[in-house]
Chain A
C-alpha cells in the first residue's frame, strides 16, 4: 500500500525503458536485504513501529493536550497542530467519530495523511529531456539527494541522467557531485570553481539534448532564503533554464532537513516565491527527528512532499507515502 516509484514519477509520453537487469549474485542480494533491513530498522518510517498507545488509552481533555504535545514535538508547528486537533475534537464531540481510542487514532492518521497530501502530484519527467532543479538551504542534503534520484531513475526506469554541477560556490561541491555521478552511473557537466551557475545548467541541457539523455538534474548552491542576492542568482539560473528550453525546469524540488523546525515554512515559502517549488524532498529521516514541518508546509503552502531520504547510501531514497508518514509522526 506504500507509494511506488511508478506513482511518484510521471514519465509522460516517454516509453519507460526496461530497467537494466542486474546480475544478482547471492552475495549481492544478501547485501541488498541487509541494507533494506538496516534502513527499515533505523528509519522512523518503518510500518512495524507501534503508535504510542498511551496517547489514546482513554479519551478526555488530557488526550487533546497530549496530542498537541506530540505534534508540536514532531515540529508540526502550533497553528497546524491546533487546526488538526480541533478538527478531530469537533468530530469526536459531534459524534462522527466514536470516542474510542482506536477509532480516534485511525481518524487522526487519516486527517494527518490528508493534510500532507495537499496539492499532491507526481514528479514530472515528461520533458525531453526532463529538467529537474534542486534547491534548498545549505546542508539540507541537495547533492546527496540528487545522487540518489539519479541512481533510482536509472535503476527503476532505465533512464539516462545528466547531472549539472551548478553549485560553483561551495569548495569541493562539484567533486562531491562527481563522486555521486560515478556511483549512480550518470554523466556530469561542471565548470571551474566560481563559474556561472546558469552557464553550467545551460551546458548540461545542451549536452543532454546532444546525447539524447532522458533527465537533467541541476544541483544548485545551498543558500539561506534570506540572502537576497543569492536568491536573485537562483532566479536567474531558473530563467536561463527556461530560455534554453521552454517549459523547463519541469520540476523544482526543495530539500528540507527533517531536523528543521518552524523555519522550514519560511524556507519553502520564499524559495517557492523565487523559483516556483513543486515539491519537497524530506531528508535525514533516519534520525530521531520526525520532520513534522512538512505537515505545516503542505497545510499552509500546499507544497507536498514527494520523496524522503533515509540514509547516506544510494538506496536510501523512497517515494513519500502520506499514511506511513502520519503513522510515524505519532510513533514514539
Chain B
C-alpha cells in the first residue's frame, strides 16, 4: 500500500548509502526527494515541512556525520521518525470493567463506516466478545438495511428502529438493550457527515454525550488527500475521537492521510481495513508500517497471519515429512490451501522484506487462476498418484488432464516442478547452499506480468 513511497525513499537512500560520507548537499538532495515522495503520498503539506526539517537536523547531527555508514544511519532515522509520526507502537481499545463497552464510529460519507462497524464486530467476536451494533444512520437511503445485512454476517446483533426515529434516541435505546442482553460491546454506526455540517456534528456530539463511549473512532479513507487534516481537526473538536480506523488500505493509495492525521491530532491509528471481505481487518502496527514504507518488509504481520492459519500439529507433521523425504503431492495440496487461506498472494508479497524493491514483482499480479489450476490437477489424481507422482505416465496423465480440464503438458509441468521442489527441500533440510537457478525452475519462472498494473 505504501509501495511507491517506499520505492522512492529506497532509490534516494540507496544513492546516499553508496557513498562513504555525506555532506550537507547530499542531505539536502535526499530531503528534497523525501519531501516529494511524501507529498505524492498525500502526507499533509505542513506535516511534510515539519517532518523534513526535523529529519534534516537529525541527519546533519553527529549520529550520522560521525557514523561509519551514514546511509544506513539515514535509513534508520527515517524509519524511526516515520514510526513516531504514525504513533509509536500502537495501542488497544479501552474496554469497560463492567457493562457493555461502547464504541462510537464517525466519519465522512463514503469513508466506509458501516463496513468498518461490521468488520470490527467480527474482529471482537473472534476474541469471544458478544457484540451488538446500533443503526443510527437514518439519512442515507438503505443504510440501516446494509448494517443489518453485514452485521448478521459478522455474527453480531443489530439494534435498529428504522429511519423515522431520532439517531440520539436510537443510540440511547440500543445501549439500554445492550445492557439488558448483557452484550460485551456495543458499536454505534452513525451517518456519514461533512465536518462543516453544524447540525450533524451537533447530533454526533449528542450521541457521544448520551452513550458515553469508551472509544470514539474516526473512520478515514486511506485515499484522502490534503484535507484529511482539516477533517480530523473538525471531528476532534465535535466528538473528541480517540483513535482512527484506516479503510481501503488494500488499494494502492500511499496512505499519507494516516501519517498526517496522527501527526496533527495526536490520535493513533488503531485498525486497518484491508479488503472487501469481513475478515480483512487488522490491528494497525505503526512500527511495522514504517518498516514497510522503507521496504524492510512486514515480517511480523506475515508470521502472525501464518500463525492464525497454520495448525501447530500439522506444521510438525510437515517438518517430519520433509526430513524423511516423504513429502507428497497431497501434502503439497494441503500446504497450498493453507497459504491461500492467508489471503490473496499479491497482498502477502508486499509483506516480504526486499520485495518492495524488486521491480519484476512490481508489474506482476500473482495469478490466482494458476493456483486454481494446480489444485484442480492434484484433486484429479488418485491417492496413490499423489503419494507417488512417479507413477503418473501415459493414460494416467490423460485422465488427470481430462478430469481437471487442463492439458497433458500442464500436468507434466506440475509433476516436474514438484520434483524440483522436493530436491530443493532435501537440500534445505541437509543445510546445503541453495542453487538460485533451481529456485527459479521450482517457481515455474517469473509470474505473468499484467500490463495494466502500475
How far is the CB of B203 from the nearest CB of chain A, in Å? 15
Indicate if the CB atoms of A262 and B227 lie closer than 8 Å.
no
- Assembled-state Cα–Cα distance A304/B226 (Å): 21
Residue in A226, A257, A274, A284 whose CB lies within 8 Å of B252: A226
Q: Which residues of A contact B196 (CB under 8 A)?
A: 42, 287-288
Q: Indicate if the CB atoms of A263 and B254 lie closer than 8 Å.
A: yes
Q: Nearest A residue to B118 by beta-carbon distance? A: A171
Interface of chain A residues 46 through 79 with chain B (CB within 8 A): 69, 72-75, 77-78
A96 within 8 A of B: no
> At the interface with chain A, which of B36-44, B238-246, B299-307, B374-382?
B36-44
Inter-chain contacts of A292 with B (CB < 8 A): 225
* CA of A309 to CA of B253, assembled, Å: 23
Known contacts A72-B45, A173-B142; A289 and B225 CB within 8 A of each other: yes
Whether A176 lies near B141 (C-beta < 8 A) is yes
Beta-carbon contacts under 8 Å, B192-231 to A: 194-196, 221-228, 230-231
Q: Which of A172, A224, A267, A270 contacts B250 (CB 8 A)?
A: A224
Query: A179–B252 contact, CB under 8 A?
Result: no
- Kindly supply a per-residue 1/0 record for chain A positions 225-246, scoring 1 wherever the CB is within 8 Å of any chain B CB and 0 otherwise: 1111110000000000000000
Find chain A residues with CB under 8 A from B45 CB. 69, 72-73
Segment of B79-87, B144-152, B181-189 in the binding face: B144-152
Residues in B neighbouring A74, C-beta threshold 8 A: 226
In the complex, the answer to whether A175 meets B145 with C-beta atoms within 8 Å is yes
Chain B residues in 8 Å Cβ range of A312: 109, 139
Cα(A231)–Cα(B141), bound, Å: 26
Residue of A nearest to B257 (CB): A261
Interface hit among A105-113, A116-124, A132-140, A153-161: A132-140
Shortest beta-carbon distance from A290 to chain B in Å: 8
A283 to chain B, nearest CB (A): 8
Residue on B with the closest CB to A224?
B251
Q: How far apart are B97's CB and chain A's nearest CB, in angstroms?
A: 34
The answer, among B141, B195, B223, for a CB contact under 8 Å with A260, is B223
Scan residues 273-318 of chain A and give those whose CB is less than 8 A from a CB of chain B. 273-274, 284, 286-290, 292-293, 312
Quick check: B109 and A284 within 8 Å, CB to CB?
A: yes
Majority DSSP secondary structure for residues of B touching A: loop
B322 at the interface (CB under 8 A from A): no
Chain B residues whose CB sits within 8 angstroms of the CB of A262 once the complex forms: 40-42, 225, 254
Alpha-carbon distance A312/B254, docked complex (angstroms): 29
Instruction: List residues of chain B with CB within 8 A of the CB of A178.
Output: 142
**In the complex, what residue of chain A is closest to B191 when comparing beta carbons?**
A312
Residue from B221, B226, B231 in contact with A72 in the complex, judged by beta carbons closer than 8 Å: B226
Question: A226–B149 contact, CB under 8 A?
Answer: no
Q: Is B145 within 8 A of A171, CB to CB? A: yes
How many Å from the CB of B25 to the closest CB on chain A? 21
Shortest CB-to-CB span from B88 to chain A, Å, is 24
**Cβ contacts under 8 Å, A323 to chain B:** none
> With an 8 A cutoff between CB atoms, is B365 at the interface?
yes
Q: How many B residues, CB 8 Å from partner?
A: 48
| Closest B residue, CB atoms, query A79 | B40
Q: Considering only CB atoms, which chain A residue lies closest to B227 in the complex?
A: A289
Knowing A263-B42, A263-B254 touch, does A139 contact B145 (C-beta < 8 A)? no
Does chain A have a CB within 8 A of B108? Answer: yes
Does A259 sit at the interface, judged by CB under 8 A?
yes
Question: Could you tell me if B195 and A288 are in contact, using CB atoms closer than 8 angstroms?
Answer: yes
Within 8 A of A (CB), among B22-52: 36, 39-42, 45
Chain A: CB-nearest residue to B220: A259
Known: A139-B112, A224-B251, A288-B196. A259 touches B231 (CB 8 A): yes
Q: Are B149 and A139 neighbours in the complex by a CB distance under 8 Å? A: no
Residues of A close to B153: CB separation below 8 A: 171
- Cβ-based interface call for B452 (8 A): yes
Contact A175 B225 (CB under 8 A): no
Whether the pair A73, B142 counts as a contact (CB closer than 8 A) is no
Is A273 within 8 A of B452, CB to CB? yes
- B256 CB-CB contact with A under 8 Å: yes
Residue in B222, B225, B231, B368 with the greatest tally of chain A CB atoms within 10 Å? B225
Measured in the bound complex, the distance between the Cα atoms of B194 and A170 in whole Å is: 23
Q: A165 → chain B, closest Cβ, in Å? A: 11
Q: How far is the CB of A151 from chain B (nearest CB, A)?
A: 14
A227 touches B276 (CB 8 A): yes
Contact check, A176 vs B142: say whether CB atoms are below 8 A apart: yes
Does A202 interact with chain B (Cβ within 8 Å)?
A: no
Q: Which residues of A contact B123 (CB under 8 A)?
A: none
A197 within 8 A of partner (CB):
no
Contacting residues, chain A, for B39 (C-beta < 8 A): 72, 78
- Asked if B221 and A139 sit within 8 Å, CB to CB, the answer is yes
State which residues 93-147 of B face A: CB under 8 Å.
108-112, 139-143, 145-146
Residues of chain B lying within 8 A (CB to CB) of residue A198? none
Give the shortest distance, in Å, between A275 (CB) and chain B (any CB). Answer: 12
B450 at the interface (CB under 8 A from A): yes
Q: Does A127 contact B (CB under 8 A)?
A: no
| Residue B393 CB within 8 A of the other chain | no
Asked whether A176 lies within 8 Å of B109 as measured between CB atoms, the reply is: no
User: Within the assembled complex, what's the spacing in Å between the Cα atoms of A155 and B121?
Assistant: 43
**B252 close to A266 (CB less than 8 A):** yes
Chain A residue nearest in CB terms to B225: A261
Q: A224-B251, A227-B276 are in contact. Are A284 and B40 (CB under 8 A)?
A: no
Q: Once the chains are docked, how many angstroms separate the CA of A261 from the CA of B230?
A: 14
Write out the residue numbers on chain A whose beta carbons fall within 8 Å of the beta carbon of B276.
227, 230
Spell out A's residues near B (CB within 8 Å): 42, 69, 72-75, 77-78, 137-141, 170-173, 175-176, 178-180, 224-230, 257, 259-264, 266-267, 270, 273-274, 284, 286-290, 292-293, 312
Q: 4 nearest interchain CB pairs? A: A261-B225, A139-B110, A261-B42, A171-B149
| Interface CB pairs A-B, < 8 A, 5 | A78-B36, A139-B110, A141-B110, A175-B145, A180-B141
Given contacts A75-B42, A139-B111, A224-B251, 5 further A-B contacts (CB under 8 A): A172-B142, A226-B252, A261-B256, A284-B194, A288-B195
